[in-house]
Amino acid sequence: MLSTDVMTLILYLTALGSGVLAGSISPALAYSRSILLGITLMHSVLAGALVGVYLNYMTTLPLTPPLMAVIFAVTASIIAAEAVNRGVSEDTAISAVVSVYVSITLLFTYLVATTVPLGVSKAMGYVFGMSSIVTVSDLARVFISLVIVMPFAHLFWYEYKFISFDPEGAEARGLSVRFYRYLYYTLASIAATTLAMTLGVLLTHIIMVVPGLFALRGRHTYPYRISYLIGTTVVFLGYLIATPLALPPSAGVGIVSAISILYLVLVRRGD
């Protein structure tokens, strides 16, 4: 069994990794005005986690909640991307996908609550987060996601930005808008799933957006420095203040995130 000091180290390394992961994907969400995509991914992550809880109990298949959450999130992103590529507006495509995954969530919330022992507690764990009981596997999942997401986020940043603002111009210049949109949506789904497994679905809505909003308001052509700074500060500070307040770490992150958003809305409104 790991000592308390080692567990604390794992907790804060996971917090640091989560902040960097949020900072790596948030600029693309903010600059492309794809906040609705983040909401869609959260619905699909929750639906997948609930399906995983149910299948893991009812069958012998190795379909764990984290695995099903990834599958559902990637599938949702691909469906939304393909609909947009076929001429459907992004808002319409995402709204349609949300309605499907909300229906799945409602169905499996009922099934998990009525058939799985401690099913309601497990479901709520994914909604509100389990960041106070972070394990080595959680830390590994965060850093594996970073290895996947960060290089592509940086390597294709200008392409993401270009297709977000002028997809027709990007096509005219020979860029494959479909490829970059699929790649961007898939990276977002990986980041969203990883963050939701630790911080919870509700909080991930916020933490995926806040760093990018600060970068967008700062009007930086290459926003990652401020995005990483805000992402790591919000998550790490949230973990730090949660302990003396006897709160779960995800609640501390939520408090810091709310203060950050109020700062953007009220203090920097006239900037």
Give the integer Cα–Cα distance in Å for 106 and 38: 19
CATH code for the domain of 76: 1.10.3470.10
Q: How many domains, the chain?
A: 1
How many helices and strands, by DSSP H and E, does the chain display?
A: 13, 0
63 Cβ contact list (under 8 Å, min separation 6): 51, 52, 55, 56
CA 28, chain centre distance (Å)? 12
Domain interval for residue 161: 4-267
Each residue's pLDDT expressed in tens, for the chain with a length of 271 residues: 567 778 778 888 888 999 999 999 888 887 776 666 666 777 788 888 889 889 988 888 888 888 888 888 888 888 887 887 788 877 788 788 888 888 998 899 889 888 888 777 777 777 666 655 677 888 888 999 999 999 998 898 888 888 777 777 878 888 888 888 888 888 888 888 888 888 887 788 788 888 888 887 766 667 888 999 999 999 989 888 887 887 777 788 888 988 888 888 776 555 5
Distance CA 190, CA 204 (A): 12
- Indicate whether this model's pTM tops 0.85: no
Token readout for 230 is 């805000």
Measured CA to CA, the distance from residue 242 to residue 233 in angstroms comes to: 14
Tokens standing for residue 116: 């799985």
Report yes or no: 52 and 64 within 8 Å, Cβ to Cβ: yes
CA dist 65 and 68 (Å) reads 5
Q: pLDDT at position 160, please?
A: 83
In contact, 228 and 181? CB cutoff 8 Å? no
The pLDDT of residue 229 is: 92
pLDDT at 87: 80
Give the Cα-Cα-Cα angle 50, 182, 106 (nearest 5 degrees): 20
